Structure 1
C-alpha cells in the first residue's frame, strides 16, 4: 500500500478491497490522475482509494507524472523520551530536508535535524517509515518522498530554530504536549508519530 497526500488528503493505492476510511474506491486503470488531483484540491473528495492489480507498476506510473524529490527527517527523542518538534508556517512539524548531491539519506536526515534545530549529538536508532506528498512548485509537479528515522540525542544546550528556513520555534514535547501539537500538524507527521508510538508499545 502507498498513501500519498494532496493538501493533507490521502490517495491510498492498494491491492486490498478492505476499507478503513469512508472514501470512494476507483480502479487505478480507469482514472484520469489529473482529474483526481483536482477533485482533492477543490474539496470534491476528502480522500480516495485506488484499487490496483499491479501496485509497483501503477506506482511507477504516478512517479512518471511527478518529479521525485527525496528528503530525510527524524523523530528525535531526548533522555526523557520527549519528542523534538519545530514550528513553521503556523504548524508543528518534525525536522526534515532534502538530500544533497553525493549524500546518503541517513546523513541528510541527521544533517537537516541538526541544522533546523541547532542540536548536536544526534544518532539514528532505526528507520521508521516513508511518507509521500504531491505538490506543485515553480510550475513543476513534484512528489516528495521522505525517509523518517527514529533518532536520539543527549544534547543539553540551547536549541536554535533555523530562522532562514522559516522555523520560529523548536522544542522537546512530552506526551500531553505532543497530543496538543498533533491537533495542528500535517497528516504525514501524524503517520510518522503513529508509526513510532505503535512500535513503542
Structure 2
C-alpha cells in the first residue's frame, strides 16, 4: 500500500483485497487516467474526508499514473543517530522536522541526504547505515504562479550515524531555529508537533 499525504489528509493506494480501513471513502481507479486523477484530487481537496482509499488491480502501475498527474520533485533526508543513541531533529518554522531537501541535478539521493543534513544542521562526518522507506506528499508550492501546479514530492530517507562532537548550527535562512537530540523514549514530544507524513518514519524508532 502506498500512502500519500496532502496536509492532514491521507490517500491510500491499494488493491481492494488489502483494505482493512473501515472509516474511509473508497474509490475504484482501474479506469483512471491522468486527467481523472487530477479531477478526483481537486474534489478530494474540497470534501471533508480526512482519509480515502484508491483501489486498483495493480497499485504499482496506478501509482505511476497518480504521480504523473503532478509536477514531480525528489527530496532526500536523514534520521541521524549520535553515539548516545539519540535522534537529531530540527525546529523548522515552529514545527519539529527531520533535515531534508531537494535532490540536485546529477546528485544521488544518498549524497543529497548527507548534504542536506550537513547544511541544515552544521555537522559533518555522517555515515549512512541503511535506506529507509520513502514518504510521499502533495502540496502547492508558493513559488508556482498557477493554482493548478501541484507538486508530488517523494522523499528518500536514510539512517545515518554521527560520532562527532560538533554541536551544530541551525540554518536560519531555511527557517530552522533549533537543533535538538531526542532519545527514542522522548519522541512523543516530537509527534505532538510534526507533519503527518513524518510520523510513519518517526514511529519506526519510538519505544
What is the TM-score when the length of structure 1 is the normalising length? 0.91
| Contact 2:37/2:69, CA 8 A, preserved across alignment | no
Residues 107-165 of structure 1, C-alpha deviations (whole Å, 9 max, x = no match): 00000011101111111000111000011221322100000011110121221100111
Q: For the residues of structure 1 that align with 2:204 and 2:21, how far apart are their CA atoms?
A: 17
Instruction: Select which of 181, 185, 188 maps to 1:179.
Output: 188
Aligned pair 1:120/2:129, yes or no? Answer: no
> Where does 1:133-152 land on structure 2 (aligned, <5 Å)?
133-137=137-141, 138=144, 139=146, 140-152=149-161
Where 1:79 maps in the other structure, the secondary structure is: coil
1:37 is matched with which residue? 41
Query: 1-side partners of 2:84 and 2:78: how far apart?
Result: 17
Alignment CA distance shift 1:21-1:57 (3 Å): same
The yes-or-no answer on 1:12 pairing with 2:12 is yes
SS of 2:164's equivalent in the other structure is: coil
Question: How far has the Cα of 1:34 moved from its partner?
Answer: 3.5
Structure 1, unpaired ranges of 5+: none
Q: Measure the CA separation in 1 of the matches of 2:49 and 2:170.
A: 36
How far does the alpha carbon of each residue in 1:40-77 deviate from its partner, in whole angstroms, 9 at most, with x for none? 43451111011111212211211221111001111100
What SS does the aligned partner of 2:113 have? helix
Alignment of 1:1-201 (within 5 A): 1-15=1-15, 16-20=17-21, 22-29=23-30, 32-42=36-46, 44-137=48-141, 138=144, 139=146, 140-197=149-206
TM-score (norm 2): 0.88
Instruction: Supply the distance in 2 between the matched residues of 1:152 and 1:69 (Cα, whole angstroms).
Output: 26
Taking structure 1 as reference, are residues 126 and 196 closer, same or farther at Cα in structure 2, changes over 3 Å only?
Answer: farther
